[in-house]
Amino acid sequence: MVVSASEARLPLQIEDASRPDSESAHNESANDCEGLNIGVNQDTRLNNRVLDLRTPTSQAIFRIEAAVGKLFRDSLESRGFVEIHTPKIIPAASEGGANVFEVTYFKGKAYLAQSPQLYKQMAIAADFNRVYTVGAVFRAEDSNTHRHLCEFVGLDFEMAFEYHYHEVLDVIGSLFVDIFKGLQSRYA
């Protein structure tokens, strides 16, 4: 028994969607006279996201994102940092300067967190000394660019320093070196 028959022809071919944009643009103009349009536009990709996620490029993006998160965690934990999980639904805007998403929360109002900053600073004040968090951040900013993200994954850390702010800069430098070397050696 077939619950839902598949389309005779898929809206996009994985092979076509896997081609680099520059190659697709070159081949489109050469093949237009034959009726072979091998380019796959963004709307088609987004409307058929499950198929588009099968392309090597889409899968690589997810794998690299996961690798960066793992390397970030590994690097900070090797330096004595503790991962904390901060609230994402909060009773009031936690930071000035950024617009917030307001949501209905049972019979009241709540907001999506713009930043974990307040909670990281509370952990430092509670003598954790070195904390980090990886999680969603929401910014309700009306931007005029197509590259602006209202939601993204933030990789944040906070630390107390004993003598000089250069201690923080050293950790930042080492963190980036660890991530880039790890990507090259373990995920390339």
CATH number of the CATH domain containing 177: 3.30.930.10
Q: Are residues 102 and 19 in the same domain?
A: no
Query: In this predicted structure, which of 16-30, 44-58, 76-90, 142-156 has the lowest mean pLDDT?
Result: 16-30
Q: Is 41 exposed, middle or buried (0-12, 13-18, 19+ CB in 10 A)?
A: exposed
pLDDT digit string (tens) for 59-70? 999 999 999 999
- The reported pLDDT for the residue numbered 5 is 80
Q: Are residues 70 and 99 in the same domain?
A: yes
Q: How many domains does the chain have?
A: 2
Q: Is residue 66 part of a domain?
A: yes
Q: Please, which residues have CB within 8 angstroms of residue 59's CB and are 6 or more apart in sequence?
A: 53
pLDDT digit string (tens) for 4-54? 887 778 888 888 988 887 655 555 555 454 556 578 988 999 999 999 999
Model pTM?
0.82
Helix (H) or strand (E) run with residue 185 in it: helix 166-186
Q: Please, which residues have CB within 8 angstroms of residue 129's CB and are 6 or more apart in sequence?
A: 80, 159, 160
Using 50, 70 and 90 to split pLDDT, how confident is the model at 92?
confident
Average pLDDT for residues 56-84, to the nearest whole number? 97
130-138 and 82-83 strand pairing: parallel
Running DSSP on this structure, what letter comes out for residue 180?
Answer: H
